[in-house]
Amino acid sequence: MVGKIKARIVIDDKIRHGKPIIKGTRITVDEVLGALIGGMNYAEIESEYGIERGDILAVIEYTASFVRGEEIKPVGIKA
């Protein structure tokens, strides 16, 4: 999946202050995530931002890569 992410998500210091963007656009990963969180569906995001479903999936995979493998431990809960 990493190859798919690299093919669609890029970071360029000269575009949007180095935020991760969808390749060939100025659409940032956080803009797409915000749209998803706001309740937009894939078709609405594709239409609104001029991107493809694969771009949206790459955004999700990109962000998931940050939490993958993290160990979450409860704090202050007694067994």
70-79 contact pairs (CB < 8 A, 24+): none
* Structural domain includes residue 72: no
* Structural domain includes residue 46: yes
* Structural domain includes residue 59: yes
**How many domains are there within the chain?**
1
Here the tokens at position 8 are: 């669609």
* Structural domain includes residue 74: no
Domain ranges, residue 33: 2-67
pLDDT digits (tens, 9 = 90+) for 11-42: 999 999 999 999 999 999 999 999 999 999 99
Distance CA 11, CA 6 (A): 10
* Structural domain includes residue 77: no
53: CATH? 1.10.10.10
> What pTM does this model have?
0.81
pLDDT digits (tens, 9 = 90+) for 54-79: 999 999 999 998 888 766 566 665 55
